[in-house]
């Protein structure tokens, strides 16, 4: 199995300052192209860079976003415009030390593959692609750290008194292990004295000690943790695993009328700010760059946890990742189902677990079995889960901390107001215009999910010419009671059902005190506290409530 895709093989052309340069490259992610640094020329006088993919004629403008320097002949280009198609990120490989050989394969555009000029075949159309095969000799180049390549694809010597290098133009070609499909290096240059059948390549794994390079990769959705390449490079036999969790497009396809507001097509996303940890782009970079650690989103009910997961999923899909959503339920085999879906393909997988507290995920098994298995198969995995603070207070925080980094959603009043105002203008434009934004805020409240539910009902009544009841009446029907009962039940803030037909249901003492405090508002803090204390004492003594 090889991951090399000929539609992603690139021609890199740099023109400027009266000169031009030509080389090969490879599209390693949606908008990232890996090539060699020397094709780009002097950084002080950069030229204009274009990329052609898959032997096509369309010149795609590109900008260098990272250059190796310091003797490292590698460069990373970012396509100025996102291509229409989406490709999965590559997986890097790290070769072992010692002696031996590892077979490789690559595709580039060497000079000896240039065809004669004829009608319709001029300019770059003359330069054909060439598949190159060979072996990396591991025991060589101990001092240079470069990969010593032995080509089995031997070109003929070009005619001419100066004997031009037949391999010229192949620089920048990505080299993959033949069987496991890992990107291990980039053809850089030749040592002429070593003969025409040899060359040297830059090992990509060595460049992963550069933090700027790693960040650029993470922004493009590329995991920068290389997979070890074993001698013999034998592919892993796939195991038969159970299948179940839902990809993001199926999750969204099953949304009902109201839940469609979780998509940007129905309600554009309001960012918490470019520098906020819960901004989807920052979350995705964190997930890509933190190896095996997951991210646990923490936020009160109705403050945007589900939407955040979908937005991060959209970014991951744009960068060629698979996005798998684990639905709430009591299926004890859900960890196996996650394993099955993750290992079903070689592409990176983002697993999103909304309502983590309602899932039956075996977290130790996920951490110690599923993720190591995916790593063994060369599949990057990231896990994004979400919970409410109430559940988190009762959870095993130590166990969660072994796997998750906690990130709190932005929930300050100013941001909540911004989200609610945006929703009112988008989903209830007629009601907002008629009543005004201030009265609509008072009617709908400040919690985004509640505001959405109430705003829909207000808009329906306004557009139908119906009278508006008291604000409490707007909360009596539709989705709101169901949503409130569900959330209160999950936080153990609802009266439990009867345990026996002849035994009345009874609220807990704490719930009685909380209800008394709520009923006593608005008052001074000490008065509210006194009301709660009195109700608590009465409940414990079996008097009143």
What is the residue range of 163's domain? 6-228
Examine residue 501 and state whether it is found in any structural domain, yes or no. no
Choosing from 408, 443, 473, the residue where a domain stops is 408
Same domain, 420 and 375: no
Same domain, 261 and 324: yes
Same domain, 204 and 263: no
CATH of the domain at 400: 3.40.50.300
CATH of the domain at 94: 2.40.10.120
DSSP bridge pairs for 75 = 35, 67
pLDDT band at 12, cuts 50/70/90?
A: very high
Tell me the per-residue pLDDT of 26-35, one tens digit each, with 9 for 90 and over. Answer: 999 999 999 9
DSSP code string of 92-108: BEEPPSSS-EEEEEEEE
Same domain, 56 and 161: yes
Instruction: State residue 34's pLDDT score.
Output: 96
DSSP bridge pairs for 61 = 50
CA angle 335, 338, 341 (to 5 degrees): 150
Dig out the tokens for 81 from the structure: 């415009």
Instruction: Please state which of the ranges 99-108, 117-126, 267-276, 460-469 shows the lowest mean pLDDT.
Output: 117-126
pLDDT higher than 50, residue 239: no
Same domain, 59 and 165: yes
Same domain, 191 and 254: no
Examine residue 495 and state whether it is found in any structural domain, yes or no. no
SS (H, E, C) 408-449: ECCCCHHHHHHHHHHHHHHHCHHHHHHHCHHHHHHHHCCCHH
Same domain, 67 and 193: yes
Examine residue 257 and state whether it is found in any structural domain, yes or no. yes
Tell me the per-residue pLDDT of 404-428, one tens digit each, with 9 for 90 and over. Answer: 999 999 988 889 888 888 888 888 8
Examine residue 233 and state whether it is found in any structural domain, yes or no. no
Tell me the per-residue pLDDT of 422-453, one tens digit each, with 9 for 90 and over. Answer: 888 888 899 898 889 988 888 888 778 788 88
Mean pLDDT confidence for 341-354: 89
* Whole-number Å distance between alpha carbons of 122 and 144: 39
Tell me the per-residue pLDDT of 474-504, one tens digit each, with 9 for 90 and over. Answer: 555 555 555 556 556 655 666 777 766 767 7
pLDDT higher than 90, residue 505: no
Q: Which residue has the higher pLDDT, 477 or 70?
A: 70
Mean pLDDT confidence for 44-53: 90
Examine residue 375 and state whether it is found in any structural domain, yes or no. yes
Same domain, 98 and 218: yes
pLDDT higher than 90, residue 10: yes
Instruction: State residue 260's pLDDT score.
Output: 79
Same domain, 126 and 268: no
Dig out the tokens for 222 from the structure: 């590329």
Please state whether the predicted TM-score (pTM) of the whole model is above 0.75.
no
pLDDT band at 510, cuts 50/70/90?
A: confident
Nearest CA among 209, 191, 184 for reference residue 105: 184
pLDDT higher than 90, residue 323: yes
Examine residue 499 and state whether it is found in any structural domain, yes or no. no
Choosing from 201, 228, 255, the residue where a domain stops is 228
Choosing from 408, 443, 472, the residue where a domain stops is 408
Mean pLDDT confidence for 274-296: 91
Dig out the tokens for 432 from the structure: 């907002």
DSSP H helical ranges for 436-524: 437-444, 448-464, 479-490, 509-520
Mean pLDDT confidence for 13-27: 88
Same domain, 216 and 269: no
Task: Yes or no: say if 175 and 105 are a contact pair by the CB < 8 Å rule.
Answer: yes
Same domain, 404 and 417: no
Examine residue 234 and state whether it is found in any structural domain, yes or no. no
Tell me the per-residue pLDDT of 166-190, one tens digit each, with 9 for 90 and over. Answer: 778 889 999 999 888 899 999 988 7
pLDDT band at 337, cuts 50/70/90?
A: confident
Tell me the per-residue pLDDT of 349-399, one tens digit each, with 9 for 90 and over. Answer: 999 998 888 788 888 898 889 989 998 888 899 999 999 888 888 888 888
Mean pLDDT confidence for 253-274: 82
- The number of distinct structural domains making up the chain is 4
State percent of the chain over pLDDT 70: 86
Mean pLDDT confidence for 196-212: 88
Instruction: State residue 482's pLDDT score.
Output: 59
Same domain, 213 and 130: yes
Nearest CA among 351, 384, 386 for reference residue 490: 386
Examine residue 295 and state whether it is found in any structural domain, yes or no. yes
């Amino acid at each position: 199995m090889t991951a090399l895709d000929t539609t992603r093989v690139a021609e890199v052309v740099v023109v400027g300052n009266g000169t031009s340069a030509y080389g090969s490259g490879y599209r390693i992610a949606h908008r990232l192209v890996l090539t060699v640094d020397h094709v780009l020329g002097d950084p002080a006088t950069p030229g204009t860079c274009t990329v052609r993919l898959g032997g096509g004629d369309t010149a795609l403008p590109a900008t260098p976003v990272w250059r190796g320097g310091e003797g490292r002949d590698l460069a990373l280009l970012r396509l100025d415009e996102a291509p229409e198609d989406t490709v999965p990120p590559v997986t890097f490989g790290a070769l072992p030390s010692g002696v031996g050989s590892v077979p490789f394969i690559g595709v580039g555009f060497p000079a000896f593959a240039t065809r004669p000029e004829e009608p319709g075949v001029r300019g770059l159309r003359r330069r054909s692609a060439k598949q190159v095969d060979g072996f990396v000799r591991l025991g060589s180049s101990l001092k240079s750290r470069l990969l010593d390549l032995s080509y089995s694809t031997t070109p003929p010597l070009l005619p001419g008194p100066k004997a031009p290098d037949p391999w010229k133009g192949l620089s920048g070609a990505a080299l993959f292990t033949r069987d496991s499909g890992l990107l291990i290096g980039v053809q850089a240059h030749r040592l002429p004295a070593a003969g025409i059948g040899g060359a040297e390549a830059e090992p990509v794994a060595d460049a992963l000690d550069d933090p700027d390079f790693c960040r650029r990769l993470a922004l493009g959705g590329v995991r920068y943790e290389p997979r070890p390449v074993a001698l013999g490079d034998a592919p892993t036999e796939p195991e038969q695993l159970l299948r179940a969790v839902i990809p993001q497009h199926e999750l969204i396809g099953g949304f009902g009328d109201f839940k469609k507001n979780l998509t940007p097509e129905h309600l554009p996303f309001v960012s918490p700010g470019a520098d906020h940890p819960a901004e989807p782009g920052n979350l995705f970079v964190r997930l890509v760059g933190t190896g095996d650690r997951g991210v646990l989103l923490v936020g009160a009910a109705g403050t945007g946890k589900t939407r955040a997961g979908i937005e991060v999923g959209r970014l991951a899909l744009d960068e060629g990742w698979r996005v798998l959503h684990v639905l709430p339920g009591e299926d004890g085999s859900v960890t196996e189902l996650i394993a099955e879906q993750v290992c079903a393909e070689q592409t990176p997988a983002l697993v999103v677990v909304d309502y983590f507290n309602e899932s039956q995920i075996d977290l130790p098994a996920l951490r110690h079995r599923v993720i190591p298995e995916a790593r063994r198969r060369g599949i990057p995995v990231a896990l994004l889960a979400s919970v409410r603070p109430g559940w988190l207070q009762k959870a095993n925080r130590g166990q969660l901390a072994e796997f998750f980094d906690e990130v709190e959603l932005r929930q300050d009043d100013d941001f909540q107001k911004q989200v609610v105002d945006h929703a009112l203008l988008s989903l209830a434009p007629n009601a907002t215009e008629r009543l005004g934004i201030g009265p609509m805020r008072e009617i709908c409240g400040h919690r985004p999910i509640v505001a959405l539910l109430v705003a829909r009902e207000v808009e329906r009544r306004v557009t139908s010419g119906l009278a508006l009841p008291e604000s409490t009446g707007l909360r009596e029907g539709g989705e709101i009671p169901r949503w409130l009962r569900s959330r209160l039940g999950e936080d153990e803030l609802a009266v439990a059902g009867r345990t026996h037909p002849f035994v009345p249901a009874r609220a807990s003492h704490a719930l009685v005190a909380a209800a008394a405090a709520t009923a006593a508002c608005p008052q001074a803090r000490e008065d509210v506290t006194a009301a709660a204390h009195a109700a608590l004492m009465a409940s414990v003594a079996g008097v009143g409530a």
